[in-house]
Amino acid sequence: MLAQGIRVQNPTTKLSQVDGRVKLFLTVAGLLAATSTGSWILPFCFGIGSLLLLRLVGVSGHLLWRRLRPILLLATLIGVSQIFINGQTPLFQWDIFSIHLIGYHEGMERGELFAARILGGVSVMSVLTFTTTVQEWIQALAWFRVPQVVIEIMTLAYSSLFTLLDELERLQKAQQMRLGYGTWWRSIQSLGAIGGILFIRVFDKSVRLWQAMRCRGYNGEISVLNNHALKRKDILVSGFGFIMILGSWLVGK
């Protein structure tokens, strides 16, 4: 199930054609703007704006809801919990059985801010994740001079992920067919065995990958050619997007 979830492809939208570097730049700018103000209104507007943008370019509401549901639940829980934790000015008081709950005014404001920041941050990030492939991310990060070692780890982790998931699925199915998940105790044993086998297979695979890389002149550094020049359209999108974000921040701060 986990493997299937990770494998789900993003829908192709108009934003998919925008260069990954532009989207990454605007996302970082958007995140900074959404989280750097003391008011809940700006991050909330960024959140709603991002979700509307995604709907506008064709991402289905169902998919958005499915992916954002846990985060929105978390934002609500954090926001609500703040009401009872922070502040001195009582807003309301509840007696539930023997529990005496006091909601504070300051806590509510803090909760609103936290929840709005989570909504804003996650929604802005969603624009990037829904419209950009991981390989575009990696290329964009490399272009922004993120340290080479980080790029290499990301590249190897991403490329190994699917091989490992395939391996995991195969092993799990093989165990299932031989009743490896019949009882809870048997399930724990089967999962433990998978962990051990995966570790050994990962080690074997890493040795073979190293050999294959040696055959292609590996010298301690993974270096590949990304040959995507920024187009005029991308520069325009990035300029327009940045002005919009800056303008909203100046108005909303």
Partner 1 sequence: MAILETENVNFAYPSGAEILHGVNFSVNAGECVALLGANGCGKTTLFQHFNGLLKPHSGRVLLKGKDLSQWHKNEVFTQVGMVFQDPHDQLFAASVYEDVSYGPKNIGLSPSDIQERVESALKQCKMWDQRNHSIHQLSYGQKKRVAIAGVLAMRSEIIVLDEPTAGLDPRTAADLMLTLKGLQVNKGLTIILSTHEVDIVPIYCDKVYVMQEGRIVSKGTPEQVFSDPVLIREAYLRLPRIAHLWEILKHKEGLDSSSNPLTIKEARKAFRKL
Cβ proximity to partner 1: between 91 and 166 the closer is 166
* Of the candidate residues 80, 222, 242, 244, the single one contacting partner 1 (CB under 8 A): 222
**Residue 10 contacts residue 131 (beta carbons within 8 Å):** yes
In the complex, the smallest distance separating the C-beta of residue 101 from partner 1, rounded to whole angstroms, is: 50
Indicate whether 93 belongs to the interface with partner 1 (CB under 8 A).
no
Residue 90's DSSP bridge partners are 104
* Of the candidate residues 101, 179, 191, 212, the single one contacting partner 1 (CB under 8 A): 212
The Cα 21–Cα 148 span in angstroms is 17
15: phi then psi, degrees, rounded to nearest 5: -70, -20
Indicate whether 45 belongs to the interface with partner 1 (CB under 8 A).
no
Give Cα 138 to chain centroid, integer Å. Answer: 14
Query: Binding segment for partner 1 among 21-29, 35-43, 50-58, 216-224 (CB under 8 A)?
Result: 216-224
Indicate whether 134 belongs to the interface with partner 1 (CB under 8 A).
yes
DSSP for 109-144?
A: HHHHHHHHHHHHHHHHHHHHHHH--HHHHHHHHHHT
Indicate whether 224 belongs to the interface with partner 1 (CB under 8 A).
yes
Give Cα 24 to chain centroid, integer Å. Answer: 13
Subset of residues 147 to 206 that bind partner 1, contact rule: CB under 8 A: 155-156, 158-163, 205
Indicate whether 219 belongs to the interface with partner 1 (CB under 8 A).
yes
Helix (H) or strand (E) holding 99: strand 99-104
Chain residues that interact with partner 1, rule: CB under 8 A: 133-135, 138-139, 155-156, 158-163, 205, 208-209, 211-219, 222-227
